[in-house]
């Protein structure tokens, strides 16, 4: 982490001494601690409060300006915000890192140790939630008046560990300590209903819910680069309307007395509860309605405070639905406008559509949300009526080819979102085209202007400046500081890549990162790795379509080849895996177990371990990503073509100078176009070829027969070579790859294997490799989330920067 002694937000510049005094003051008066007895936690809290004070000034100024200008506001509704730690981000964006380092040093403390004491706020599963967090930061950097709305889960994504190589899940308690960044807003509360019945009186619908809970707001300011603007992340926590039943208590029913509170709080208790049971499904739908409805009420309250004509809504309010999880926003907004404010039904639909837009993040059929009509009507009876009317109106308008919201007893949230949005966007060029051809082909023909592409991006502040100090310093020394705000300036490196001097420094920065990471692996996991070996990373959620099993089978094949010829000229590699499997996803958990079993055998093999090591790092989260990414040489982006909507890990790795080995899937296609085909290791079938290949009977068997290396690797797994005590342990994996192999691991194996050999050969020419890596950095500027958000602002939201 490197910064300069500055404080940008228009306030007084702050130096180490002044910051130190502010920290001391918080230590004494906020935490009630004497410096002589303060722990690392106390110092972190005191520093966080001191930094938060600085953010607050910019935050108020931004809010005042938004009101003063009557500006259009953007509302980003998302079930997930995978924000990670906030202290380092805030220090970097305020230019306070050096001051903080010096202030803590004066107390005998190390800033990085204090920063790492902060628990990750893991209020998301993976890419979708992390994207929302990058977007928040870019919205503030761009000075776009915006607000993120989500749920303040008491427990974020589970903590992963391994026992005998198997994934074990434990609850995450990020709120067990005080969260210094948020402000509780007891005054911002809304009552929300569930269930009950609808009464129709004189053409008016009156919903009488059976159950009511309260949503209470907690606000976290999100500061942009150089502290010029701050927006709010508003998260809702569920509370009981009557928290405590004194009557029951007085009758000795102590548990019963606390029940209403416990039941209400369940709604915001955990991120994405298992929905394999009906109770789980109901809870998920309740969560979706809970945060969406609370957010809409808040949005309308704010709108009312400034305007008195509802017709202005689409001009003043843009609401982005992050996937279909907040799709109930459509019918709920119509209900609020029509039932509660008397706007004519079709006009209410028109106004709602004028505000709403929807991002699709997946084409996987099993991930497209659909609710049983029974469950839906039971929980949200009035919304069911509204949806039926919208669906019938749509079908009446397009009788021949109407793709319906209500279909075979289910409510399809993708279709609902599409019909209630003025724009629908995919997250990479390929994904958007496939959306038009597959899930939304009917609707696209009816509304050809509605689908547009917005390729994802990542914030360069967190994903380069703050996580990769060695490279950031070099970039700043070479082209100045402008790249942090305008990442396309990285292209100014290009002329230097061919010349003398720069490339050595670039390679040295990577080497330094690898050494730091290697030392950490040693300290934390007692693992010895050679920083000159290739660090090859596949870090992401574990999923069949992401094909971690392709990578591990290929690793086994390499290991066998080294054994055949131990004196060969092999390129040393460390294969790094990290990622969580959904608790109920059995196959993904088997893949984790297999990788850990293979790691145990390979790392103990004296013949091969000089050339090949495998590590599976537990508990992948934002902070772990920040450690691995700067130290990686090779980025594994090996999903079955057509299945990864975009990917954002791929962008972070390329930006930090890892070369990609990947398929033509998601944003890999655009990464390859930008960095140059010669700086990217392409393999595998295209999305069209994948579809055709699946039609061929016995495709996996044929592929195995044609590729002896794959046959042999599979045989080693099948025979129990990696599971001595239980030879059948991986029968399921072997049978899947040899039989149905829906994700075409077998069919892509030979191409992947051959490309990996090319990768190994290329790595031996270290100068050439460093040049390819540097081109990846120099040409990744387009993948900044500032570019993405700028395009959302102009093409979807019609929002303006107030900077």
Give me the residue whose beta carbon is nearest to ligand PLP: 649
Extended beta strands in 87-226, E state: 121-123, 146-151, 159-163, 166-170, 183-194, 197-201, 204-208, 211-223
Residue given tokens 């300011």 in the structure block: 221
Q: Rounded to an integer, what distance in angstroms lies between the CA atom of residue 435 and that of residue 454?
A: 13
Stretch that binds ligand PLP, among 406-414, 467-475, 488-496, 617-625 (CB under 6 A): 617-625
Q: Which of 220, 459, 640, 648 is catalytic?
A: 648
Nearest to 382 by CA among 192, 210, 205, 204: 205
- Is position 541 annotated as part of the catalytic site? yes
Stretch that binds ligand PLP, among 199-207, 247-255, 419-427, 647-655 (CB under 6 A): 647-655
What minimum distance in Å lies between the beta carbon of 361 and ligand PLP?
11
CA distances from 698 to 641, 703, 705 (A): 20, 9, 11
Tokens in use for 355?
A: 């505000």
* 125 binds ligand F58, rule: CB under 6 A: yes
Q: Which of 179, 514, 652, 674 is catalytic?
A: 652
What minimum distance in Å lies between the beta carbon of 80 and ligand PLP?
11
Q: Where are the alpha helices (DSSP H) in 428-501?
A: 429-437, 441-446, 460, 469-479, 494-498
Q: Which of 546, 549, 580, 755 is catalytic?
A: 546
Q: What residues does 424 pair with on adjacent strands?
A: 358, 451
CB closer to ligand F58 out of 457 and 460: 457
Nearest to 741 by CA among 539, 542, 550: 550
Tokens in use for 546?
A: 């992401």
* 167 binds ligand F58, rule: CB under 6 A: no
Give me the residue whose beta carbon is nearest to ligand F58: 127
- Is position 510 annotated as part of the catalytic site? no
**Which does residue 649 touch among ligand PLP, ligand F58, none (CB within 5 to 8 A, set by kind)?**
ligand PLP
CA count, 13 A, side-chain hemisphere, 319: 33
> What order of strands is seen across the sheet that includes strand 356-359?
183-194, 211-223, 230-240, 146-151, 73-77, 317-322, 356-359, 423-426, 451-453
Stretch that binds ligand PLP, among 122-130, 159-167, 219-227, 335-343 (CB under 6 A): 122-130
**Which does residue 622 touch among ligand F58, ligand PLP, none (CB within 5 to 8 A, set by kind)?**
ligand PLP
User: DSSP code of 411?
Assistant: E
* 647 binds ligand PLP, rule: CB under 6 A: yes
Binding mask 352-381 for ligand F58 (x = CB under 6 A): ---------xx----x--------------
Whether 766 contacts 661, CB under 8 Å: no
Q: Rounded to an integer, what distance in angstroms lies between the CA atom of residue 377 and that of residue 197?
A: 10
Task: State which H helix or E strand residue 237 sits in.
Answer: strand 230-240
**Which does residue 362 touch among ligand F58, ligand PLP, none (CB within 5 to 8 A, set by kind)?**
ligand F58
- Dihedral sign, Cα of residue 166, residue 124, residue 39, residue 115: positive
* 221 binds ligand F58, rule: CB under 6 A: no
**Which does residue 156 touch among ligand F58, ligand PLP, none (CB within 5 to 8 A, set by kind)?**
none
Q: Rounded to an integer, what distance in angstroms lies between the CA atom of residue 424 and that of residue 432?
A: 9
- Is position 608 annotated as part of the catalytic site? no
**Which does residue 272 touch among ligand F58, ligand PLP, none (CB within 5 to 8 A, set by kind)?**
ligand F58
SS3 of 211, please? strand
Of the candidate residues 272, 303, 358, 440, the single one contacting ligand F58 (CB under 6 A): 272
* 97 binds ligand F58, rule: CB under 6 A: no
Q: What phi-psi label fits residue 512: left (phi over 0), alpha (psi between -120 and 50 degrees) or beta?
A: alpha
CB closer to ligand F58 out of 126 and 579: 126
Report how many residues bind ligand PLP under the rule CB under 6 A: 12
Whether 616 contacts 595, CB under 8 Å: yes
* 126 binds ligand F58, rule: CB under 6 A: yes
* 660 binds ligand F58, rule: CB under 6 A: no
Stretch that binds ligand PLP, among 316-324, 333-341, 414-422, 642-650 (CB under 6 A): 642-650
CA count, 13 A, side-chain hemisphere, 109: 24
Whether 430 contacts 404, CB under 8 Å: no
Stretch that binds ligand PLP, among 179-187, 224-232, 486-494, 618-626 (CB under 6 A): 618-626
Q: Which of 65, 265, 389, 541 is catalytic?
A: 541
- Dihedral sign, Cα of residue 616, residue 617, residue 620, residue 624: negative
659-662 vs 681-682, strand pairing mode: parallel
Of the candidate residues 20, 95, 127, 221, the single one contacting ligand PLP (CB under 6 A): 127
Stretch that binds ligand F58, among 124-132, 152-160, 326-334, 494-502 (CB under 6 A): 124-132
SS3 of 371, please? strand
Q: Rounded to an integer, what distance in angstroms lies between the CA atom of residue 230 and that of residue 221?
A: 6
SS3 of 201, please? strand
Residues between 534 and 573 that touch ligand PLP (CB under 6 A) = 540
- Is position 652 annotated as part of the catalytic site? yes
Q: Which of 85, 179, 286, 361 is catalytic?
A: 361
Whether 783 contacts 671, CB under 8 Å: yes
What minimum distance in Å lies between the beta carbon of 160 and ligand F58?
15
- Is position 540 annotated as part of the catalytic site? yes
Of the candidate residues 451, 625, 709, 733, the single one contacting ligand PLP (CB under 6 A): 625
CB closer to ligand F58 out of 26 and 361: 361
Residues between 432 and 471 that touch ligand F58 (CB under 6 A) = 456
**Which does residue 588 touch among ligand F58, ligand PLP, none (CB within 5 to 8 A, set by kind)?**
none
CA count, 13 A, side-chain hemisphere, 273: 19
CB closer to ligand F58 out of 126 and 630: 126
Q: Which of 26, 159, 234, 540 is catalytic?
A: 540
* 649 binds ligand PLP, rule: CB under 6 A: yes
* 622 binds ligand PLP, rule: CB under 6 A: yes
Residues with active-site annotation: 361, 540-541, 546, 648, 652
Q: Which spans of this chain sit near ligand F58 (rule: CB under 6 A)?
A: 125-128, 131, 272, 361-362, 367, 427, 456, 644-648, 666
């Amino acid at each position: 982490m490197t910064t300069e002694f500055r404080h940008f937000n228009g306030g007084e510049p702050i130096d180490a001494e002044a910051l130190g005094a502010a920290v001391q003051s918080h230590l004494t008066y906020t935490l009630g601690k004497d410096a002589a007895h303060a722990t690392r936690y106390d110092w972190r809290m005191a520093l966080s409060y001191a930094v938060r004070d600085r953010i607050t000034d910019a935050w108020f100024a931004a809010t005042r300006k938004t009101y003063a200008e009557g500006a259009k506001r953007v509302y980003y509704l998302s079930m997930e915000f995978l924000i990670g730690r906030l202290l380092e981000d805030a220090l970097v964006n305020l230019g306070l890192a050096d001051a903080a380092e010096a202030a803590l040093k004066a107390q005998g403390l190390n800033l990085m140790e204090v920063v790492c004491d902060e628990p990750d706020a893991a209020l998301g599963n993976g890419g979708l939630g992390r994207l929302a967090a990058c977007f928040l930061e870019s919205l503030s950097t761009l000075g776009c008046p915006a607000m993120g709305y989500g749920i303040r889960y008491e427990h974020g994504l589970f903590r992963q560990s391994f026992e005998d190589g198997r994934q074990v899940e434990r609850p995450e308690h990020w709120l067990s300590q005080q969260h210094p960044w948020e402000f509780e807003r007891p005054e911002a509360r809304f009552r929300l209903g569930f269930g009950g019945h609808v009464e129709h009186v004189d053409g008016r619908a009156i919903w009488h819910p059976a159950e009511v809970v309260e949503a209470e707001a907690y606000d976290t300011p999100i500061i942009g680069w150089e502290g010029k603007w701050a927006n709010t992340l508003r998260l809702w926590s569920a509370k009981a309307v009557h928290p405590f039943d004194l009557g029951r208590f007085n009758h000795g029913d102590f548990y019963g007395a606390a029940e209403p509170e416990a039941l209400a709080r369940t709604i915001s208790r955990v991120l994405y509860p298992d929905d394999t049971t009906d109770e789980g499904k109901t809870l998920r739908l309740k969560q979706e309605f809970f945060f969406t409805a609370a957010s809409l009420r808040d949005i309308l309250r704010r709108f009312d405070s400034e305007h008195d004509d509802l017709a202005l809504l689409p001009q003043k309010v843009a609401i982005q639905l992050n996937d279909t999880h907040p799709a109930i926003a459509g019918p709920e907004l119509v209900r609020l406008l029509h039932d509660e404010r008397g706007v004519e039904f079709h006009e209410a639909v028109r106004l709602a559509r004028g505000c709403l837009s929807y991002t699709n993040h997946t084409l996987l059929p099993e991930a497209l949300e659909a609710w049983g009509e029974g469950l839906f009507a039971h929980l949200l009876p009035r919304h069911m009526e509204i949806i039926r009317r919208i669906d019938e109106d749509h079908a009446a308008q397009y009788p021949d080819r109407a793709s319906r919201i209500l279909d075979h007893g289910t409510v399809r949230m993708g279709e609902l979102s599409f019909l209630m949005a003025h724009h629908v966007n995919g997250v990479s060029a390929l994904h958007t085209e496939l959306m038009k051809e597959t899930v939304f082909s009917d609707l696209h023909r009816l509304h050809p202007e509605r689908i547009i592409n917005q390729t994802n991006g990542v914030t360069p502040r967190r994903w380069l400046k703050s996580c990769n100090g060695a490279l950031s310093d070099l970039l700043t020394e070479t082209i100045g500081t402008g790249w942090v705000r305008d990442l396309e300036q990285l292209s100014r490196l290009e002329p230097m890549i061919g010349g003398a001097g720069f490339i050595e420094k670039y390679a040295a920065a990577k080497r330094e990162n690898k050494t730091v990471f290697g030392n950490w692996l040693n300290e934390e996991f007692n693992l010895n790795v050679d920083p000159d070996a290739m660090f090859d990373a596949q870090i992401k959620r574990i999923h069949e379509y992401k094909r971690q099993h392709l990578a591990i089978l290929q690793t086994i094949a390499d290991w066998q080849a080294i054994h055949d010829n131990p004196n060969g000229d092999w390129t040393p590699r460390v294969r790094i895996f990290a990622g969580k499997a959904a608790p109920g996803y059995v196959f993904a958990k088997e893949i984790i177990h297999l990788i850990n079993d293979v790691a145990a055998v390979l790392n103990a093999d004296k013949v091969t371990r000089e050339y090949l090591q495998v590590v599976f790092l537990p508990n992948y989260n934002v902070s772990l990503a920040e450690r691995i990414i700067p130290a990686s040489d090779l980025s594994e982006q090996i999903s079955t073509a057509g299945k990864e909507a975009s990917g954002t890990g791929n962008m972070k790795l390329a930006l930090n100078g890892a070369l990609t080995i990947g398929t033509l899937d998601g944003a890999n296609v655009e990464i390859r176009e930008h960095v140059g085909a010669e700086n990217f290791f392409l393999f595998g079938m295209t999305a069209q070829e994948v579809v055709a290949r699946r039609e061929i009977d016995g495709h996996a068997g044929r592929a195995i027969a044609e590729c002896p290396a794959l046959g042999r690797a599979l045989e080693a797994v099948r025979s129990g070579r990696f599971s001595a005590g239980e030879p059948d342990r991986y029968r399921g994996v072997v049978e899947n790859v040899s039989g149905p192999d829906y994700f075409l691991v077998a069919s892509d194996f030979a191409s992947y294997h051959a490309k990996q050999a090319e990768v190994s050969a290329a790595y031996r020419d270290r100068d050439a490799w460093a040049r390819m890596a540097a081109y990846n950095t120099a040409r990744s500027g387009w993948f900044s989330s500032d570019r993405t958000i700028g395009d959302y602002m102009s093409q979807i939201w019609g929002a303006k920067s107030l900077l």
